[in-house]
Amino acid sequence: MTVFRRLLAGLSTLVLPAYGLAAEYNLTVDRVTIDTGDFVKEGIGYNGASPGPVLRFKEGENVTINVTNNLDEMTSVHWHGLILPFTQDGVPGVSYPGIRPGETFTYQFPIVQSGTYWFHSHSGFQEPNGAYGAIVIEPRDADPVAFDREYVVQLTDKHPHDGDRIMRNLKMMPDYYNRQQLTVGDFVSEARDRGFWATMKDRMMWGDMRMMKADVEDVQGFTGLINGHGPAQNWTGLFRPGERVRLRFINSSAMTYFDVRIPGLTLTVVEADGNRVRPVPVDEFRIGVAETYDVIVEPRDDRAYTIFAESMGRSGYARGTLATRAGQTAPVPDRRPPSYLTMADMSGMPGMDHGDMGHGDMNHDDMGHGAAAMDHSEMAHGEMSHGNMAMDHADQASDDGAMDHGAMAHGEMNHGAASHEAMGHDQMAPMATADMSEHDAVPAGHAVGRHRAMAARTDDAAMSHAGTAPQGREHNPFYARGSGLTPEAANGGRFLSYADLRAAQPLYPERAPTREIELRLTGNMERYSWSINGVKFEDADPIRLQYGERVRFKFVNETMMTHPMHLHGMWSILDVGAGQWNPIKHVVSVQPGTTVYMETEVDAPGQWAFHCHLSYHAASGMFRKVVVEGGPDTAVGTTPVQGGDA
């Protein structure tokens, strides 16, 4: 299977005609009217509607898709998550020039995978304006996931302003759309609970840094849609009690992460980003921008169930219904209170070494995370940069024994000296991804792979820290410890974490990465400018990869926002510490204050886009071109390639 896929990717044009089916599809790109129930808006759609049609392909077929541009501006269609020749990937200026007004562009590529994906425009802000649709690919052989019926559940965050207007407003005033800022009233009620000075100190600390605890969702004011229907329009999928229903969730939002639940039902996650995972039953999951998750639900009662997708910052929601007859509804839950960032979310920030922070005044309790919640693995993410304000060692007696103070040097820490390099952060970072205590459901074979990951770049001191970390299974290692964004299930049950994901079958034989590329996710919220390694797309050189190498990407989030990073053309193998069972994705969300690793088998020659999938972050610079040099003939194989920087 694996070998076959790789063969297909490399030799598709030669192999496919021999066995492939061929199918032709037509898409037009049109001006459309979008009615969300809250407002009516001009937008862009496919075949006369937004969202566009659900394209159904079959693994192994050779598709021809004719895209006709009926707009008076350039357009493009990108097949999100599909593995295909780069000239068919649909990114203007990277893989092709784009599609001119009136022109029909014919895409032709083999379908070498199965699962749930989507397509969208990669031109300007056409995608936030409505140019998106779903892709469902049936596996070549019998689907290992059994289900009686299926629905695509495509989420988006439709805004009354169009994309250009939103971008311009954010540039004029970065908090233009933020209506969840802390008010005088919040101060008063907090002062009543925590005391005036504690609240004052908290506000002073954030004010000192010119950062807002409310910077969770920078574009609010949208209406959440499911398959184009607003909450009042209530998209409904029918079922018969006892059926296994497969819901293919796709987050096609411009900017919004959704926390999805269906009160009364357990969601069994069976696929992430189109790739099968070992089934994980959860009560709720967070779907990052551009991610897809397939879940199985088994509603047994003859009644309606609400699909409730609340935005991560709680400023909006999408709602649909599973029902046994049309018109049947179930109660719609209230939104939970807004979430706010904490100091833990700031921890990856070099801004923390501003000399003017006045840490003398800070004490740990003011920072919104209790001492009990801390352990050494927290430092793995780079929190050491504010170690002296975040930690109160007196409260940590139990951990102190295990702590190697010398190695961590926090006694001498000051913010200036606490840069990543100075902290030996590189050695410690893998704990973030290999936080062993958190993995309670370790599949067989996991231990080996995990060990490799740890041993490869973890020193003894760091190992011992991991060993002494508290066993709290509720901590999600993909969030900074104490993060204000850490999700919790509304019913107190299980919330899906990346750490729960295990590939159902590895796509690639396991091997050591040939090199590591560090990508710092950077930005300036006040100027609304976003970048990678401090450099915006327009000023950046491409990232150059060699065909045949296996690259380990290290993402260090130095901003206060979550970034869904999307590499085109090749898989992103997310390091959850499970070795060959690490899940295979096309979008990797990196939370504030964390470091996340993914590996990529560089098996697709050509030029590819690589960017944050938040539309206004990508547009203001968090974007790179990736050039894969060489090809099957000139593969570098497993020979390590030294160095490498973006």
Partner 1 sequence: MSPVVAAEPDPHTARYFWGIQFEEFEYRYSDSDEEVASWDGDAFYGTDELKLRWLGKGEYGIDERAYETLENQLVLQTPISDFFDAKAGVRVDTPEGPDRTYGVLGIAGLAPYWFEIDASLYFGEGGQAMTELDVEYEWLLTNRWIVNMGLDATYAFSEDRAIGIGRGLSSTELGLRLSYDLIDRTLSPYVGVVHEKAYGDTRDLAREDAESTEEWYAVAGVRWMF
Q: How many residues contact Cu ion, by CB under 5 A?
A: 5
d(CA 577, CA 372): 25
385-404 residues in contact with Cu ion (CB under 5 A) are none
Q: Does 533 bind partner 1 (CB under 8 A)?
A: no
Question: Contacts with partner 1 in 611-630 (CB under 8 A)?
Answer: 611, 618-621, 623, 627
| Least distance from Cu ion to the Cβ atom of residue 558, Å | 12
In the block, tokens 């995608």 appear at 127
524 binds partner 1 (CB under 8 A): yes
Residue from 362, 499, 551, 614 that binds Cu ion (CB under 5 A)?
614
Q: How far is CA 52 from CA 31, 91, 320, in A?
A: 12, 19, 18
Nearest distance from C-beta of residue 585 to partner 1, angstroms: 22
* Contacts with partner 1, 336-375, as mask; x by CB under 8 A: ---------------x----x-------------------
Angstrom CA distances, 363 to 205, 357, 366, 389, 398, stand at 11, 13, 6, 6, 20
Retrieve residue 484's tokens.
């204000």
**With contact defined as beta carbons under 8 Å apart, do 156 and 225 qualify?**
yes
Between residues 149 and 179, which has the closer beta carbon with respect to partner 1? 179
Three-point CA angle 99, 103, 106, nearest 5°: 70
Residue 5 host element (H or E): helix 2-19
First to last CA, the chain: 33
Of 28, 64, 66, 169, the residue at the interface with partner 1 (CB under 8 A) is 169
Tokens of 289: 């921008």
In angstroms, what is the minimal distance from the CB of 249 to partner 1?
27
In the complex with partner 1, which residue's Cβ is closer, 573 or 619?
Answer: 619
Q: Is 535 exposed, middle or buried (0-12, 13-18, 19+ CB in 10 A)?
A: middle
Instruction: Answer yes or no whether residue 475 interacts with Cu ion by CB under 5 A.
Output: no
Of 145, 612, 619, 628, which lies in the binding site for Cu ion, with binding defined by CB under 5 A?
A: 612
DSSP track, 19-34: H--EEEEEEEEEEEEE
> Is 184 a binder of partner 1 (CB under 8 A)?
yes
Which 63-122 positions form the footprint of partner 1 (CB under 8 A)? 74, 76, 86, 92-98, 122
Choice from 115, 430, 579, 606 touching partner 1 (CB under 8 A): 606
Backbone angles phi, psi at 106, to 5 degrees: -105, 115
Question: Which is closer to partner 1, CB of 407 or CB of 627?
Answer: 627
For the bound state, the minimum distance from the C-beta of residue 452 to partner 1, rounded and expressed in Å, comes to 33
Closest CA to 439 of 472, 464, 461, 462: 472
Asked if 612 contacts 289 with a C-beta cutoff of 8 angstroms, the reply is no
Q: Nearest distance from residue 498's CB to Cu ion, in Å?
A: 17
Closest CA to 156 of 126, 135, 136, 130: 130
CA distance 122 to 116: 19
- In the complex, least distance from residue 359 CB atom to partner 1, rounded to whole angstroms: 14
Q: Is 282 helix (H, G, I), strand (E, B) or coil?
A: strand
Phi then psi dihedrals of residue 632, to 5 deg: -50, -30
Q: Is the CB of 151 or the CB of 530 nearer to Cu ion?
A: 530
Contact partner at residue 614 from Cu ion, partner 1, none, CB < 5 to 8 Å by partner kind: Cu ion
> DSSP per residue over 51-101, as a string?
S-PPEEEETT-EEEEEEEE-SSS-B--EEET----GGGS--BTTTB--B-T
Q: What single letter denotes the amino acid at residue 84?
A: L
210 binds partner 1 (CB under 8 A): yes
Binding mask 511-550 for Cu ion (x = CB under 5 A): ----------------------------------------
The partner in contact with residue 401, picked from Cu ion, partner 1, none with C-beta cut-offs of 5 to 8 angstroms by kind, is: none
Contact, 149 vs 214, CB < 8 A? no
- Kindly state the smallest distance separating residue 106's Cβ from partner 1, in Å: 17
In the beta sheet, which residues pair with residue 590?
Answer: 563
Total residues binding partner 1 (CB under 8 A): 55
Strand 587-590 vs strand 563-567: parallel, antiparallel, or unpaired?
antiparallel
CA dist 631 and 627 (Å) reads 11
Binding Cu ion (rule: CB under 5 A), the pick from 122, 319, 554, 617 is 617
Per-residue contact flags (x/-) with partner 1 for residues 477 to 516, judged by CB under 8 A = ----------------------------------------
Residue of 446, 563, 566, 625 interacting with Cu ion (CB under 5 A): 563
Binding site for Cu ion (CB under 5 A): 563, 612, 614, 617, 622
Binding site for partner 1 (CB under 8 A): 74, 76, 86, 92-98, 122-124, 164, 167-169, 171-173, 176, 179-185, 204, 207-210, 221, 351, 356, 524, 526-527, 529, 536-538, 605-607, 609, 611, 618-621, 623, 627, 631
